Amino acid sequence: MGYRSMRAFNWLKRLHRDERGNALIIGAAALPLLLGSAAFAVDTIQITLMKRQLQRGADSAALAGAFAMSQGVDPHRAVHSDLDQNYFPALTQEETVDYSPRLGFQKVVRVQMYSDQTLPFMSVFTSSPSRITADATAAVISAGRFCVLSLYDGTDPGIDISGNATLDLGCGMATNSHGTDSFQAGGSLTLNASPIMSVGGLDGAKNKFGTSTLQPYSAKQQDPFASVPDPPPQTCTNDLSIKPNDPDTPLTPGCYKSMDISGTANLAPGTYYINGGDLSFGAQAKVTGTGVTFVMTGTNGKAGDLKMNGQADLNLTSPTSGDYNGMIFYRDRRADNIQIKINGGSGMHIDGAMYFPSSDLWFNGGSDMVVSCLRMVGQKLTFRGNTNLTNQCPAGSPNAGFELSFVRLVG
């Protein structure tokens, strides 16, 4: 063995006996595993981040579509508008959007997204990209039925109840107010209504709702009578006036500039248009009618007022067909906002809806109302004093109220 070979052999023997040499060998052998583990960890974190971004985009798009569906807006446009506004990894193929019923829900938006990503370290071992997927399903869910709706969407309370008011509704109340205290309740209130829904909060009146189901911060509710057509233009100029001592007066449908009833009137079935003037029921009014609707309209938003005073006594039933099916009172939605007051002592027994989409409703003092299948829609709704409102509606009636809905992710 040559001199140089001997020196190399002796060096290897010393290296074999040296612990530091052993550590070096082990470290060198483990280095590829350590580097591979670190690379795998980096790629895993990157995949997780991309998956989270993609899932957030799918969730947001599905919710946007479901909210649009609940508001009667095109969900497809809402989904793609949301996708355009949010950042997520580039999609390999166009997202899939499905509106088929699933999971027991009828109004559903499902969004599926796909993204192929080439990862920096895994690409050393494979030429195939890693596919990241996200799947989100949002649904419009029924939360009960409501029969009183405030369309007001500002920050003031949409519904305000105080005094010794008694509201025996047997159905829900909803307001589109988005204030912190969107529903005010005070005094010696007696309330039988559930659920209580608001777009805003219910902080200021929680202890007044008893066993009612509370649903604050819910989706805005659409006008359930939005499809009711605007009243046709009217040109009549004849006023109607019935005094307390006038003989019983039969009335026929048609157009009146105003109606002032303080005596006894019997209404034939049909629609009674009030063109720009007021519809007034005086202290001694006794009005009966089956299949009737009062429509308050006028030009340039000048629809008149509805006035109920003193001991007015109304027994009215709405029609069961036609444009105003199920409706007793309708004030033109194009009219300016006024405050309609139903004052103390007035009594009503009505079977039909009260629709005042551009007006506030105010129930004062001892107003007493018994309604069959109440449906009341207005801007701000206020109940004061000894207001007594009783709703009598047979179980399963198609006029038992409107469906209350909210949106959430279900898959």
Which pLDDT tens digit goes with each residue over 185-230? 887 888 888 888 999 998 766 677 777 888 898 888 889 999 999 9
Does residue 409 belong to any structural domain of this protein? no
User: Residues 184, 262: one domain?
Assistant: yes
- Distance, in Å, from the CA atom of 319 to the CA atom of 316, rounded to the nearest integer, reads 10
Does residue 408 belong to any structural domain of this protein? no
| Cα 298-304-307 angle, rounded to 5 deg | 155
Positive or negative, the CA dihedral 311, 312, 315, 316 is: negative
User: Residues 300, 325: one domain?
Assistant: yes
User: Residues 321, 345: one domain?
Assistant: yes
User: Residues 322, 388: one domain?
Assistant: yes
Quickly state the pLDDT bin for 329 (edges 50, 70, 90).
very high
Positive or negative, the CA dihedral 336, 295, 265, 345 is: negative
User: Residues 101, 157: one domain?
Assistant: no
pTM: 0.75
Does residue 411 belong to any structural domain of this protein? no
Considering only 10-19, 55-64, 91-100, 210-219, which range has the smallest mean pLDDT?
A: 10-19
Positive or negative, the CA dihedral 328, 332, 335, 337 is: positive
- What pLDDT score was predicted for residue 11? 64
Q: Which residues pair with residue 307 across a beta bridge? A: 280, 341
Boundary (domain end) residue, out of 110, 142, 174: 142
Q: Which two tokens stand for residue 396?
A: 């399963």
Does residue 395 belong to any structural domain of this protein? yes
Does residue 410 belong to any structural domain of this protein? no
Helix (H, G, I), strand (E, B) or coil at 263: coil
- What pLDDT score was predicted for residue 8? 67
- What pLDDT score was predicted for residue 357? 95
**Which structural domain, as residue segments, surrounds residue 348?**
145-402
> Could you tell me what percent of the chain has a pLDDT over 90?
34
User: Residues 133, 158: one domain?
Assistant: no
Query: How many domains does the structure of the chain reveal?
Result: 2
